[in-house]
Structure 1
Amino acid sequence: MTTAINSAVEKGDAAIGAQLTRDVSLPALVLHRDALEHNIRWMQTFVSDSGAQLAPHGKTSMTPALFKRQLDAGAWGITLASATQTRAAYAHGVRRVLMANQLVGTPNMALIADLLADADFDFYCMVDHPDNVADLGAYFATRGVRLNVMIEYGVVGGRCGCRSEQEVIELAKAIDVQPALALTGIEGYEGVIHGDQAVSGIRAFAASLVRLAVQLQDSGAFAIAKPIITASGSAWYDLIAESFEEQNAAGRFLSVLRPGSYVAHDHGIYKEAQCCVLDRRSDLHEGLRPALEVWAHVQSLPEPGFAVIALGKRDVAFDAGLPVPLLRYKAGVVPAMGDDIGACKVTAVMDQHAFMTIAPGVELRVGDIISFGTSHPCLTFDKWRVGLLVDEQLSVVERMETCF
């Protein structure tokens, strides 16, 4: 006897209208609509009020439904990290991409050249080495396409990017002799600057970035009248915005900020970073709200004070802190009422299990549902093919597919 399976049920699979505590296969990636919409409005307003444009980093979620919301709210474009991410975003309607990375390798160049056959597609990528400039110039010349490039300026011991102002000037000269390349701006990433003097270091880096942009513009190195100057991850965007404003970057350049994790925020590293932003900016009366959670069942209670949760490394980020227990729900109970169990603590995660100590006074039973906050949303999103957008009643209002 054979059994026909009409459709596969993925983890977290649910129909519109499903109720989290009753109808959803867990674990599930959950996005709270009110917090999500607040975050999109908040960051767009912050960036616009700073005289800049927003190109949120799409690698955080790789969720086209979120790209659309960000663009509809006023984002200038979407930042991405690779040619394949760019192709995925293009397939879902994104028509302006700032690829904050080097375009390396002929197959990746071919992906972008194919997309540039669409005259409505606006694309920019980074360069930081003469070898890459030569390779890009040669390839795109054979394709009869002119590629917009931006020089990446980095810091010693950091990630990619030219390590000195002189390297930037020399690289601009190398770009100038490549007819298939157009120098359209300069880019940096301040998130690799750490330590007790991080704030002053970031301000100095931003000042150097603007100084280089002015020098290149004055020398006629840029191929466009108003070149792009861009920086900013999800922790120090306020400092970058202030530095660009103070140096009047918006007057001579198109200033673009690129935070990405703000859209979902978190209960870990970006929550801490947001507290620092609010401390630095007394005019900001409200910050971002955590919108992302992972929900899972209590799977086993093998010892007093110890629970095993059906949640593991394949479901949630663990690189920047372990999941944070938030609320406990009774399975099947609607309307869902959550009990605070914040004193419980996840101590370890395995592939499919999390170990959690049970705080005094908290009573759990196998099958209870717990919502968990996360730290570093990027590495939680990429473990899921679908996230569930829920309303205040915890009913699913939209299935948000990812495209990693």
Structure 2
Amino acid sequence: MFSLTCPQKGLPVTGRHLLTDISLPALVVHQTALEHNLHWMQRLADRHGAVLAPHGKTTMAPGLFRRQIAAGAWGITLATAVQSAVAAKEGIERILMANQLIGRANMQIVADMLRQYRVDFYCLVDSVENVRQLGQFFAAQQLTLQVLLELGVANGRCGCRSDEQIDALIAAVQAEPALELCGVEGYEGVINGEQPQVDGFIERLVTVALGLKNTGAFNRAQPLITASGSAWYDRVAAAFSQQQARDAFLTVMRPGCYLVHDHGIYQQAQQGVLARQPRLEEALLPAMEIFACVQSVPEPGRVIVALGKRDIAHDDMPVPLRVWHGHATQPVALDNRWRAIKLMDQHLFLQGPAEHALQPGDIIAFGASHPCLTFDKWRYFCLVNEQLEVAEGLETCF
């Protein structure tokens, strides 16, 4: 009896074996590596006196959100009103929407969420016009909206660039009784530079926040200051641990991809972290893989795998890791002679030695780069133990 990983058939059944009982391809998260990463990042934040609000858009898996909260996370970061409402419905009580709340329909989603659920919610503002729209909407709803000023960088994404923009925004928020300014936010991941540029931005973030606090701009005694993606979190933690920031603010870090890590861009970013922080304990572990079957061996050195763009991120090519031949219970590592050379909707072209042992039905585990763009292709995924038995079937809510 097979357990299908499709929405029509429901979650993968606990206790079934990945290699024999689960329809492939399948998104797989390894339980041991997940637990390691979960506690690794929480300890790092704790050591620096910061709190974690992991970015939930990476997985959009409420079952993983709850694990992060149970491990000590202060809240969950999300990117949209819909994502925020999903998290609130699933019991997350503190949500930081690291984005502007734009559009009346999205404002209504947040208003309904605030009425229906017990949730401490924050969003970002960076323009006077958006502040005006939010103020009018939430005043009409007889609700108060907590907002954070977003600080940006030249040629970056959103966020105020100049002191003049910041001053105008603060005045606009203070003119709207339905809005409360609760802190300052930035995202260093948009900086296409080296450590000095990142450090400079984080220093400016702290300086701006301290200046605003000194002028009484915030609506609370301990406002928030928040930054950190999944590449420069060590530098953010170090800046936030400086006495002036720790004394003045609740310092909030928001990495998301750390939980499952990857075999691509975040593995490279981790090497940078370890080079900068040689005293760090062992590194994050890749916990996310896609398992798929060899479909055809049509010519020497060419293997077609039943895996495509609909199943795995393709910023970079998937990385072939291990193969289980036939009914084997132990895998064989695939060395660097094997590489994915082309990806179509549902086929992967794998190039390898002309003489090889791969046959249709063999199962290959692939690593991916950029977990956000792999998880969003799946409605369900398998959390597996070291024996590749399904410990839990988990749902995503994209």
TM-score per shorter chain, which class? over 0.9
Query: Residue 200 of structure 1 aligns with which residue?
Result: 196
CA contact (8 A) 1:22 1:331 kept: no
1:121 to 115, 119, 122: 119
Aligned to 1:154: 152
> What is the match of residue 343 of structure 2?
349
Amino acid corresponding to residue 317 of structure 1 in structure 2: A
Question: Is 2:206 the counterpart of 1:230?
Answer: no
Instruction: Tell me: CA distance 1:8–1:260, structure 2 relative to 1, closer, same or farther (3 Å).
Output: closer
Aligned pair 1:41/2:39, yes or no? Answer: yes
In structure 1, distance between residues paired with 2:249 and 2:189: 22
Kindly indicate whether residue 209 of structure 2 is the aligned counterpart of residue 213 of structure 1.
yes
Report the number of matched residues: 393
CA contact (8 A) 1:341 1:362 kept: no
Q: Distance in 2 between matches of 1:34 and 1:107?
A: 41
- Aligned-residue offset at 1:8: 7.7
Q: Does 1:165 align with 2:155?
A: no
TM-score by length of 1: 0.95
Deviation at 1:243, TM superposition (A): 1.4
2:318 to 305, 323, 337: 323
SS of 1:117's partner is helix
* SS state at 2:275 partner: helix
Structure 2 residue matching 1:116: 3-state secondary structure: helix
Q: Is the 8 A contact 2:126 2:150 kept in 1?
A: yes
CA drift at 1:18: 1.1
Asked whether the 8 Å contact 2:301–2:356 carries over to 1, the reply is no
The residue that corresponds to 2:253 in the other structure is: 257
Instruction: Tell me which of 358, 366, 377 is aligned to 1:383.
Output: 377
RMSD of the alignment, in Å? 1.5
| Post-superposition CA distance 1:291-343 (Å, at most 9, x none) | 00000000011110000110000000002x1100000013444xx20100132
Give CA deviations for 1:47-74 in whole Å, capped at 9, x if unaligned.
Answer: 1111100000000000011000000000
What SS class does the counterpart of residue 84 from structure 1 fall into?
Answer: helix
Q: Is the 8 A contact 2:145 2:179 kept in 1?
A: yes
Moved >3 Å (runs of 4+)? 11-14, 359-362
Q: In the TM superposition, what whole-angstrom CA distance separates every residue of 1:229-251 from its partner, at most 9, and x where no partner exists?
A: 00000000001111122363111
User: What one-letter code is carried by the residue in structure 1 that aligns with 2:385?
Assistant: D
% identity of equivalent residues? 51
3-state DSSP of counterpart to 2:262:
coil
Corresponding residue number in structure 2 for 1:72 = 70
* Unaligned residue ranges in structure 2 (runs of 5+): none
* Match of residue 397 from structure 2: 403
Say if 2:267 is the partner of 1:271: yes
How far does residue 119 in structure 1 lie from its aligned partner after superposition? 6.8
Code of the residue aligned with 2:181 in structure 1: it is L
Give 1:275 shift.
Answer: 0.9
Q: Partners of 1:116 and 1:184 in 2: how far apart?
A: 17
CA distance in 2, matches of 1:339, 1:27: 19
| SS of the residue 2:216 aligns to | coil
Choose from 49, 52, 55 the match for 1:54: 52
The residue number in structure 1 matching 2:182 is 184
**TM-score normalised to the size of structure 2?**
0.96
Q: Which runs of 5+ in 1 are unaligned?
A: 1-6
Which deviates more, 34-43 or 115-124? Answer: 115-124
AA of the residue aligned to 1:32 = H
